[in-house]
Chain A
C-alpha cells in the first residue's frame, strides 16, 4: 500500500511517503510555524526527490487532531484538496496516537503531551502489546495535575514526549511520584512517518473516510461556543 502522510498539528510540519513496509521518504521541519507557506513546497520536494506520481498512491493519511486549530486546518484542507483532486481516500490518524507510535514496541506507559494552553495538555495514555498500540486512556484535554494523578494511579514507568515536554518537564519531575523519562529528540515530536505507519494499520482495519467527510477533531469547542454554553447554563439556574 502506498500512503502519503501529513502532520501540521503543532510546531512541526512533516510529510512522508510509505510504500508497503518501506518508509521511502520523511521530511520534517521543526522550525517556526509557517505551515501555510511550507507544507505544500515540502510535498513538492518529496514528489520531486522521488519522481513520485501522485496518481499512483492509494491513500492519504493525516494527523486529524488534537493540535493547533489553524495548524490542523492547514493539514486537513491540504489533504481534502489532494484527495478530492486525486480521488483517493483519507486515513484519519489521531495526533496523539501517532506521537505514541513514535515509540512503537516500548515497554511501559507512553504518554504524549501537547501544550493546549489554558493550563491544559492534549494527552492520551498508551502502552504497547508487542507492536500493537493499546489505548489506556482516550485522547482529551486535561490539566497536568489531573494527568499526573492518573499516571501515578497506574504506577508504571512512563515515557513522555511531545511539545508539552519542554513546557511541563520541571513540573512533572517535581510532582510525579512514578518513575518517568522523556523521549530523545528524534522521537519526541510529530513525525509523518509514524502517521503513515499507523495509518497503514488503520487502513488494513478499514478505518478510512472520503475527502469530503474528513474534518479535524479538535477535542475542544471554540471559545465563543464555550462562553455561550456557560452563559446559557448560568441563565438556566
Chain B
C-alpha cells in the first residue's frame, strides 16, 4: 500500500500548529507556534488577539511543517483541520486556510474534532494501541470519561457537570497568585508542597458514577483562602496547590478505575492538556499497575494542543471515507462523536 501523507492544521485556541503525518502514526513534523507570552499579559486567552496571531503566523507554520517533513503540497493525500470545538474566530482561520489549500491543490478535506485529536495523540507513540480502550480526556474545556469503541467512535460514560478540570486549575492558580497558565504552574508549585496538608473535598455527583464536578472544590479553595486572610493566617501556596491538585487527581483516577473494573477494560489512556500533569500521570500509572491494566499516555508535547494529533485522527477519518465539502464551517460547540 502507498504511504498516506496528511497535512494537519490546528488553530482552535492559542497555538497555531501544523504537522505532516504519514500513515496516521509517523510524525514527519510537528510545528507549534505558541501565543502564551501574549495572553499571559491578560491573565488568559483573549479570543480576538488569538485570532489575529493565528492569521499572522499560519502560513509560516505550515511552510515550516512541510519543510521539516521534507514534503511539498504535491506529495500530500489530504488536508485535515480542526473545525471544533474551540474559539470560533480562532478556528475559522485554520478552517479557511485548510479549505483554500485543499481546494487549490484538489486534495480531500477532512474536518477533525479537536478532542478526538487529543485521544488520537495516544496512537502516535504507542504503535500497539488500538480500540477498544478507556480514555480520560482532561483539558481546559473538557473532562470526559469515554470508551473509545473504534477509531472515531466514542461512548461517553461521564463528563463534568460544571468546570472542566483544566478550568479549575486556572481559577485556583489565579486565586493563589500563580497566574496563567494555571496547569503547569500548579503542577510545579505542588512539588514543593504537602498534598495532605489541607483536606479539600472530593467532588461527587450524587446520581452518577462517572460524572465529575469541580466547582465545589474550587469554592472550598477560595473559602480556605478567604478564611486565612480574615484570620490573618499565613497561606502556604505550595500546600494549597498540592492539596487542591491531589483532590482533582483522586477523583479522576477513582472514576477511571471504577469504569475500568465495571467494564472490564484492560487498556486505559489519558488525553488533553491536563494529561501533562505529572501528579495525574504518576497516580494513574500506579493505579493501573496495581490492577494489571496497561496504561497509555502521550508525551507532554502531544498532550498540549498540536496538529500531529489532528493528522493522526484525520488519517483514520480518511480511511473511513470522511470528506468535508467546501462549505465546512467552524463549530465552536461541536460535541464529542458528533459529525458536523
Closest 8 CB pairs of A and B: A81-B100, A77-B96, A85-B104, A222-B48, A40-B326, A81-B97, A224-B46, A212-B59
In the complex, residue of chain A having the shortest beta-carbon distance to the beta carbon of B52: A222
Task: Judge whether B55 and A228 touch: CB under 8 Å.
Answer: no
Q: Would you call B136 an interface residue if the criterion is a C-beta within 8 Å of the partner chain's C-beta atoms?
A: no
Q: Would you call B273 an interface residue if the criterion is a C-beta within 8 Å of the partner chain's C-beta atoms?
A: no
**Stretch from B87-95, B147-155, B184-192, B238-246 forming part of the interface with A:** B87-95
A70-B89, A84-B62 known; A77-B327 Cβ under 8 A: no
Residue-wise, chain B 314-340 has the 8 Å CB interface mask toward A (1 for contact) of 000000000001111110000000000
Bound CA span A43–B54, Å: 23
Residue-wise, chain B 40-70 has the 8 Å CB interface mask toward A (1 for contact) of 0110001011011011101110110000000
Q: Would you call B129 an interface residue if the criterion is a C-beta within 8 Å of the partner chain's C-beta atoms?
A: no
Task: Judge whether A76 and B327 touch: CB under 8 Å.
Answer: no
In the complex, residue of chain A having the shortest beta-carbon distance to the beta carbon of B39: A224
Output the residue of B62, B95, B325, B326 with the most chain A CB within 10 A.
B326
Residue of A36, A43, A82, A225 touching B92 (CB-CB under 8 A):
A36
Residue of A54, A77, A225 touching B97 (CB-CB under 8 A):
A77
Contact residues, A40-97 vs B (CB, 8 A): 40-41, 43-44, 54, 69-70, 73-74, 76-82, 84-86
Q: Would you call A183 an interface residue if the criterion is a C-beta within 8 Å of the partner chain's C-beta atoms?
A: no
Q: Would you call B73 an interface residue if the criterion is a C-beta within 8 Å of the partner chain's C-beta atoms?
A: yes
Bound CA span A39–B94, Å: 15
Task: Judge whether A78 and B96 touch: CB under 8 Å.
Answer: yes
Q: Would you call B301 an interface residue if the criterion is a C-beta within 8 Å of the partner chain's C-beta atoms?
A: no
Q: Would you call A199 an interface residue if the criterion is a C-beta within 8 Å of the partner chain's C-beta atoms?
A: no
Name 9 extra pairs, CB < 8 A, besides A36-B96, A73-B54, A224-B48. A37-B327, A40-B326, A70-B92, A73-B55, A77-B58, A81-B97, A81-B98, A85-B101, A212-B59
Q: Would you call B105 an interface residue if the criterion is a C-beta within 8 Å of the partner chain's C-beta atoms?
A: yes
Which residues of chain A have a CB within 8 Å of any CB of chain B?
34, 36-41, 43-44, 54, 69-70, 73-74, 76-82, 84-86, 211-212, 215-216, 218, 222-225, 228
A41-B327, A223-B48 known; A80-B103 Cβ under 8 A: no
Bound CA span A77–B42, Å: 26
Closest approach, in angstroms, between the C-beta of A43 and any C-beta of chain B? Answer: 7
Which residues of chain B have a CB within 8 Å of any CB of chain A?
41-42, 46, 48-49, 51-52, 54-56, 58-60, 62-63, 73, 88-89, 92-101, 103-105, 325-330
Interface of A is mostly: helix
Task: Judge whether B89 and A69 touch: CB under 8 Å.
Answer: yes
Bound CA span A218–B53, Å: 13
A69-B89, A212-B60, A224-B42 known; A80-B55 Cβ under 8 A: yes
A37-B329, A41-B326, A69-B48 known; A85-B42 Cβ under 8 A: no
Task: Judge whether A85 and B327 touch: CB under 8 Å.
Answer: no
CB neighbours of B100 from chain A (8 A): 40, 77-82, 85
A-B contact pairs, 16 of them (CB 8 A): A36-B96, A38-B327, A40-B103, A41-B326, A44-B103, A44-B326, A73-B55, A73-B89, A74-B92, A77-B93, A81-B96, A81-B97, A84-B63, A211-B59, A218-B52, A228-B42
Task: Judge whether A43 and B52 touch: CB under 8 Å.
Answer: no
Closest approach, in angstroms, between the C-beta of B54 and any C-beta of chain A? Answer: 8
Task: Judge whether A86 and B104 touch: CB under 8 Å.
Answer: yes
Task: Judge whether B329 and A85 touch: CB under 8 Å.
Answer: no
